[in-house]
Copies of this chain bind each other. A is one copy, B any other.
Amino acid sequence: MPEDFNVTAYEVEGKVDYNRLEERFGIKPITEEMEERIRKLAGESHYLIRRKIYFAQRELNWLLDEYEKGNKFYVYTGIAPSGSMTVAHLLQFIMAQWLQEKFDADVYIQIPDEEKFLTKNDPKLTLEYVNGLAHEDALDIVALGFKPKKTKIYFDTEHANQIYKHAVRVAKRITFSTLKDAFGFSNETNIGAIFYTSTQAVGTFIKSAEEGRKIPCLVPLGVDQDVHFRVARDVVEKLGYYKPAIIHSKFIPSLKGGPKMSSSDPNGAIYLSDKPEDVVKKVNRAITGQQSTAELQKKYGGNPEKCSVCQYYKYLFETDDKKLEKIFEAERDGSMLAGEHKAALAGKINEFLEKHRKEKARLKNKIDDFILQPQA
C-alpha cells in the first residue's frame, strides 16, 4: 500500500487516515466503554473525547482501574516552543486542565526549551530565544485555568538538575539504532537531537521519582508525539516505574487546508498572540467545504468535514454538541454562506483570545506559583 500520508515527530504530510495510523503505531481506539468509564468517574464527559478528537490510547483501562482502586494518576504533557503558541496547541492543555479538575490530578508540563534549537536549522531559534518563548508559553498555558499548587511547569535548561539525572537512565537503555528507525535519524543528525527524546520520557516518571513511589501517569498528546513513548515506555518500566497511559489527539487542520495546523505556517494557523484584525483576515481566507459560488452553495450545500471553519468549531470553539450540529447542518443545507460563517468564527476566536489575554495579564506576576521549584 502506498504511503499516502506520513506522520513523524517532525512532520505531518498527506491526508491522515487515523485508523491506519493506529495500526502503524500499535495504538488502540478509545472505545465507547472507556468513554463511559471516564464520564462516570469525572461526573461529565468531555467534548474532545465525545468527538473522537482524542481518538486513541495506550493502557487507558489500566489507568482507570488503578484510579478506581484509589491509586490516583498525575498528568504529564508539554510543548516544544518554536514561536507563539497556536490554538492547535491548546488541545493537550485543555484536556490536562480538565483532568486536573475532574480527577484531582497534579499536572506536570515539560517545556523543552532546547528541542527546536536542536532539531530545526533556523538561525532565529537560538537557545535564548527559545527560552524566552518557553516562558511566554508557560503563561499562555496557565491562563487556561490550571491550579497553582497542582501544576508544575518545567524548562529543560532551567530544571536540568531535576531532569538530566533521570534522562541519562533512560538514555542508557536506548540505542542509536532504535532512534534511527523511530525518528528517521541519520548519521548526520546532531548528538543533542539524538539525546533529546530521553528528556521527554522523564515526565512520565518524574513525580514517582520525586516521591519515591510508583504513581500512574496519563499523557495527553498529539499523535505525532507517540513515537517518543513507543521508544521509551518499556524503558520506563525497566527503571521500576509504571508504563505511562497515553491518549492521542488528532490534528486540527490548517485554515488553508492541509493535515495539520503548524506554527510554522503563519497564514494557516491562529496564534494566541494574533490581533483581532489578523484573526479576521486569516479566517476570511480559510478554506471551507462550500461550493464555489453562493448560488451553488444555497442549492447543493457544503461539506463540514472538509470545511476548516466547521472543524475549528468542532475542535475548539463550540463545545456544545447541539450548537455544533446546527453549524454543521447550516453548512450542509446551504443556509449559511461562507462570509457569515467565517465572521461568526472570527468573533468566537477573538472572544476567546480577548479573555485569554486578560487572564495572562492577571497571572503575569503569579507565574512562579505554577513552575516546578528548581533545585540547586
Contact = CB atoms under 8 A, between A and B. Distances in A.
Contacts of A180: 187
A214 interface: no
Interface stretch (A42-50, A89-97, A162-170, A273-281): A162-170
Contact of A375 (B171, B195, B376): B376
Q: Which 3 pairs of residues, A with B, have the shortest CB-CB distance? A: A171-B192, A195-B195, A160-B160
B174 A165 contact: no
Given A161-B161, A376-B376, A192 B168 contact: yes
A200 interface: no
Interface in A256-272: none
A171 B158 contact: no
Interface residues of A, number: 42
Interface of A: 114, 117-118, 127, 156-161, 163-165, 167-177, 179-180, 185-195, 197-198, 374-376
17 contacts: A117-B168, A118-B172, A127-B165, A157-B168, A161-B376, A164-B164, A171-B191, A171-B192, A172-B193, A173-B190, A175-B187, A175-B188, A177-B187, A179-B191, A195-B195, A374-B376, A375-B376
Interface of A is mostly: helix
A174 B191 contact: yes
A19 to B, nearest CB: 32
Q: How many copies does the complex hold?
A: 2
A185 B139 CA distance: 42
Nearest to A231: B191
Nearest to A158: B161
Contacts of A174: 190-191
A163 B117 CA distance: 16
